Amino acid sequence: MTPTRKEYVKTLCKTIATRLENQKSIAFPPRLRSIIFEEVYQLVGPYIMTDEDLREKALAKMGAKAEQINDAQMTESDAYKAARAIVRASFGDDELNGFYFIKPLKQVAGMIVSYLMRSPSIDEVYETDEDLEKMIVDWVKTFNPQNIT
Protein backbone atom coordinates (compact mmCIF):
# COMPACT_ATOMS: atom_id res chain seq x y z
CA MET A 1 0.00 0.00 0.00
CA THR A 2 1.39 3.38 -1.01
CA PRO A 3 1.63 5.80 1.92
CA THR A 4 -0.94 8.58 1.90
CA ARG A 5 0.17 12.17 1.45
CA LYS A 6 -1.36 15.57 2.28
CA GLU A 7 -2.19 16.08 -1.43
CA TYR A 8 -4.60 13.15 -1.09
CA VAL A 9 -6.56 15.08 1.54
CA LYS A 10 -6.83 17.98 -0.92
CA THR A 11 -8.04 15.58 -3.60
CA LEU A 12 -10.58 14.11 -1.16
CA CYS A 13 -11.96 17.59 -0.39
CA LYS A 14 -12.11 18.44 -4.08
CA THR A 15 -13.89 15.16 -4.80
CA ILE A 16 -16.53 15.83 -2.12
CA ALA A 17 -17.33 19.31 -3.45
CA THR A 18 -17.34 18.10 -7.05
CA ARG A 19 -19.69 15.20 -6.30
CA LEU A 20 -22.07 17.45 -4.39
CA GLU A 21 -22.12 19.84 -7.33
CA ASN A 22 -22.50 17.06 -9.93
CA GLN A 23 -25.40 15.51 -8.02
CA LYS A 24 -27.10 18.92 -7.84
CA SER A 25 -26.94 18.89 -4.02
CA ILE A 26 -25.29 22.31 -4.01
CA ALA A 27 -24.97 25.16 -6.50
CA PHE A 28 -22.24 27.76 -6.78
CA PRO A 29 -20.74 29.95 -9.50
CA PRO A 30 -18.11 28.00 -11.47
CA ARG A 31 -15.61 30.84 -10.95
CA LEU A 32 -15.65 30.09 -7.20
CA ARG A 33 -14.96 26.35 -7.58
CA SER A 34 -11.27 26.51 -6.64
CA ILE A 35 -12.03 28.81 -3.69
CA ILE A 36 -14.59 26.32 -2.37
CA PHE A 37 -12.15 23.42 -2.78
CA GLU A 38 -9.51 25.34 -0.84
CA GLU A 39 -11.94 26.45 1.89
CA VAL A 40 -13.15 22.88 2.46
CA TYR A 41 -9.53 21.71 2.65
CA GLN A 42 -8.56 24.50 5.06
CA LEU A 43 -11.54 23.60 7.24
CA VAL A 44 -11.05 19.83 7.53
CA GLY A 45 -7.40 19.33 6.51
CA PRO A 46 -6.09 19.85 10.05
CA TYR A 47 -8.35 17.01 11.29
CA ILE A 48 -7.25 14.43 8.72
CA MET A 49 -3.73 13.06 9.01
CA THR A 50 -1.95 10.97 6.41
CA ASP A 51 0.83 8.38 6.54
CA GLU A 52 3.19 11.26 5.74
CA ASP A 53 1.94 13.17 8.83
CA LEU A 54 2.13 10.02 10.92
CA ARG A 55 5.74 9.48 9.90
CA GLU A 56 6.65 13.06 10.85
CA LYS A 57 4.93 12.68 14.22
CA ALA A 58 6.66 9.37 14.88
CA LEU A 59 10.06 10.84 14.00
CA ALA A 60 9.40 13.80 16.28
CA LYS A 61 8.38 11.43 19.09
CA MET A 62 11.51 9.40 18.42
CA GLY A 63 13.69 12.52 18.57
CA ALA A 64 12.22 13.45 21.94
CA LYS A 65 13.03 9.98 23.26
CA ALA A 66 16.52 9.66 21.72
CA GLU A 67 18.25 9.21 25.07
CA GLN A 68 15.83 6.46 26.13
CA ILE A 69 16.35 4.73 22.79
CA ASN A 70 20.12 4.67 23.31
CA ASP A 71 19.70 3.39 26.88
CA ALA A 72 17.33 0.63 25.75
CA GLN A 73 19.74 -0.59 23.06
CA MET A 74 17.04 -0.28 20.37
CA THR A 75 17.91 0.24 16.75
CA GLU A 76 16.58 3.39 15.10
CA SER A 77 14.24 1.35 12.93
CA ASP A 78 12.81 -0.47 15.96
CA ALA A 79 12.36 2.85 17.74
CA TYR A 80 10.64 4.33 14.68
CA LYS A 81 8.27 1.36 14.44
CA ALA A 82 7.45 1.62 18.14
CA ALA A 83 6.87 5.38 17.96
CA ARG A 84 4.71 4.99 14.83
CA ALA A 85 2.64 2.27 16.52
CA ILE A 86 2.05 4.53 19.52
CA VAL A 87 0.99 7.46 17.33
CA ARG A 88 -1.20 5.25 15.15
CA ALA A 89 -2.86 3.59 18.15
CA SER A 90 -4.00 7.00 19.37
CA PHE A 91 -6.48 7.13 16.47
CA GLY A 92 -8.32 3.95 17.45
CA ASP A 93 -11.08 3.21 14.94
CA ASP A 94 -10.73 6.56 13.20
CA GLU A 95 -8.46 5.26 10.45
CA LEU A 96 -9.81 4.74 6.95
CA ASN A 97 -7.96 4.08 3.69
CA GLY A 98 -4.74 5.57 5.01
CA PHE A 99 -6.41 8.64 6.49
CA TYR A 100 -6.30 9.13 10.25
CA PHE A 101 -9.14 11.24 11.59
CA ILE A 102 -8.34 13.37 14.61
CA LYS A 103 -12.07 13.99 14.92
CA PRO A 104 -14.59 11.25 14.03
CA LEU A 105 -15.52 11.07 10.35
CA LYS A 106 -19.14 11.96 11.09
CA GLN A 107 -17.99 15.12 12.87
CA VAL A 108 -15.69 16.05 9.95
CA ALA A 109 -18.64 15.58 7.57
CA GLY A 110 -20.73 17.79 9.84
CA MET A 111 -18.07 20.50 9.62
CA ILE A 112 -18.29 20.40 5.82
CA VAL A 113 -22.11 20.58 5.94
CA SER A 114 -21.95 23.59 8.28
CA TYR A 115 -19.56 25.27 5.88
CA LEU A 116 -21.88 24.62 2.93
CA MET A 117 -24.83 26.11 4.81
CA ARG A 118 -23.09 29.33 5.83
CA SER A 119 -20.61 29.97 3.02
CA PRO A 120 -21.22 33.06 0.91
CA SER A 121 -19.58 31.14 -1.98
CA ILE A 122 -22.44 28.61 -2.06
CA ASP A 123 -25.59 29.91 -3.77
CA GLU A 124 -27.93 27.07 -2.86
CA VAL A 125 -28.02 23.83 -0.85
CA TYR A 126 -30.72 21.41 -2.00
CA GLU A 127 -30.30 18.60 0.54
CA THR A 128 -30.93 18.32 4.27
CA ASP A 129 -28.01 18.42 6.69
CA GLU A 130 -28.47 14.73 7.45
CA ASP A 131 -28.52 13.72 3.78
CA LEU A 132 -25.42 15.77 3.02
CA GLU A 133 -23.59 14.32 6.00
CA LYS A 134 -24.48 10.77 4.97
CA MET A 135 -23.33 11.37 1.38
CA ILE A 136 -20.02 12.82 2.54
CA VAL A 137 -19.37 9.94 4.97
CA ASP A 138 -20.20 7.38 2.27
CA TRP A 139 -17.87 9.05 -0.25
CA VAL A 140 -15.02 9.25 2.23
CA LYS A 141 -15.48 5.56 3.03
CA THR A 142 -15.18 4.64 -0.65
CA PHE A 143 -12.42 7.13 -1.51
CA ASN A 144 -9.27 5.25 -2.34
CA PRO A 145 -6.00 7.20 -2.49
CA GLN A 146 -4.50 4.30 -4.45
CA ASN A 147 -6.66 5.28 -7.44
CA ILE A 148 -5.12 8.77 -7.65
CA THR A 149 -2.80 9.15 -10.59
Q: What is the pLDDT of residue 92?
A: 52
Q: What is the pLDDT of residue 15?
A: 94
Contact 119, 23 (CB under 8 A): no
The model's pTM: 0.78
Q: What is the pLDDT of residue 96?
A: 79
Phi and psi, residue 124, nearest 5°: -150, 145
Residues 6+ away with beta carbon under 8 Å from 63: none
Q: What is the pLDDT of residue 52?
A: 82
Contact 112, 136 (CB under 8 A): yes
Which residue ranges make up each domain of the chain? 6-143
How many other C-beta atoms can be found within 10 angstroms of the C-beta atom of residue 126?
12
Residues 6+ away with beta carbon under 8 Å from 13: 37, 40, 41, 44, 45
Q: What is the pLDDT along the chain (149 residues), one digit of tens a residue?
A: 566 788 999 999 999 999 999 999 999 999 999 999 999 999 999 999 888 887 777 767 666 555 554 555 555 566 656 666 666 665 555 777 788 888 999 999 999 999 999 999 999 999 999 999 999 999 999 998 777 65
Q: What is the pLDDT of residue 86?
A: 62
Q: What is the pLDDT of residue 74?
A: 52
